[in-house]
Amino acid sequence: MDSSLANRIEITQGDITKQKVDAIVNAANSSLLGGGGVDGAIHRAGGSAILDECRAIRARQGGCKTGEAVITTGGRLPATHVIHTVGPVWNGGQKGESALLAACYRNSLRLATGHQLASVAFPGISTGIYGYPKQEAAAIAVREVRQWLAAHDFPRTVVFVAFDEENRRLYEQALTLPALFIWPRVGLARPAPCVG
């Protein structure tokens, strides 16, 4: 990786609600009204100011579609903002999941750039309740962040927050792979069967 880019990407293990960054990204659902997993943890730690702004966004635009993102205050969190993005539910990999997951990262980063936020922390969008395979999700996250940072000055730094040891390893692995490499799973031509 380009060394200046490498300096702008970090991996940390732990609870994203504790991150002192300009924005943490929430793995939300399209209602924007909260839920379990990291979404529940963010709303609990950040308090009602986040939900109030989510409700106002719902009133304006009717929630948030899969792959899109919206931004609110961080409320009581150490982070000043929360970027809420809605990841795809894993459905076998043939339902456009990878493009939607990539869009989550790009649209979240677009908001960070637009607000000139210096630092953004991402959890593994879709890799919990939504069931996205973690290795592929980490590769997509790393690819999208690299591409975005290479083309934009903001955010200066992106932190991948791994909730556990396994996820931390997967991010480390994805960062050591050549840019644009995504583990093959589906859609590859299979060798022709041997006949006769």
**Which residues here bind ligand AR6, judged by CB under 6 A?**
15-17, 27-29, 35-39, 41, 87, 123-130, 161, 163, 167
Helix axes 48-61, 37-46, angle to 10 degrees: 120
Q: To the nearest whole angstrom, how small is the minimum distance from the Cβ of residue 193 to ligand AR6?
A: 37
Catalytic residue (choose from 2, 15, 22, 39) = 39
- Active-site annotation holds for 164: no
The residue among 37 and 133 lying less far from ligand AR6, judged by its C-beta, is: 37
The residue among 42 and 112 lying less far from ligand AR6, judged by its C-beta, is: 42
Distance CA 89, CA 86 (A): 9
Helix axes 134-151, 97-114, angle to 10 degrees: 40
- What phi and psi, each to the nearest 5 degrees, are found at residue 186? -130, 165
User: Residues, the chain, total?
Assistant: 196
The residue among 93 and 128 lying less far from ligand AR6, judged by its C-beta, is: 128
Active site residues: 39
